[in-house]
Amino acid sequence: MTSYPPYIWAQLKNLSCDQLSSALLKDGWVFERGKGAVRQYIKGDGLHRVAVHYHPHKTYGPQLLRDLLKDIGWTEADLKRLKLIK
């Protein structure tokens, strides 16, 4: 996983659950199922899967956000393409 520089974390620290879910769908991830506060998304042939804790309009703590982005595998270029950072 690529470690993001501080200027990227400054932009991501207020990323909401809704924004992350929208970005996943925009990036080609498919909502597979949800149970309670956990939503599962798959990409491609179904071998790449990520579970996202979803609470509408809430933001993630720094550790959880770091782990989610690591699991998703987005690069800095991906974050810019998805308009999550400038």
Domain containing 15 equals 6-81
Dist CA 20 CA 45 (whole Å): 21
Q: What is the H or E stretch that residue 34 is in?
A: strand 30-35
Report the CATH number at residue 17.
Answer: 3.30.920.30
Confidence of residue 1 (pLDDT cuts 50, 70, 90): very low
Q: pLDDT (tens digit, 9 = 90+) per residue, 15-51?
A: 999 999 999 999 999 999 998 899 999 998 888 999 9
Residue 1 lies in a domain: no
Average pLDDT, the chain: 92
Domains identified in the chain, total number: 1
Residue 52, classified by CB atoms within 10 Å of its CB into exposed (0-12), middle (13-18) or buried (19+), is buried
Predicted TM-score (pTM) above 0.85: yes
Classify the C-alpha dihedral 70-76-78-81 as positive or negative: positive
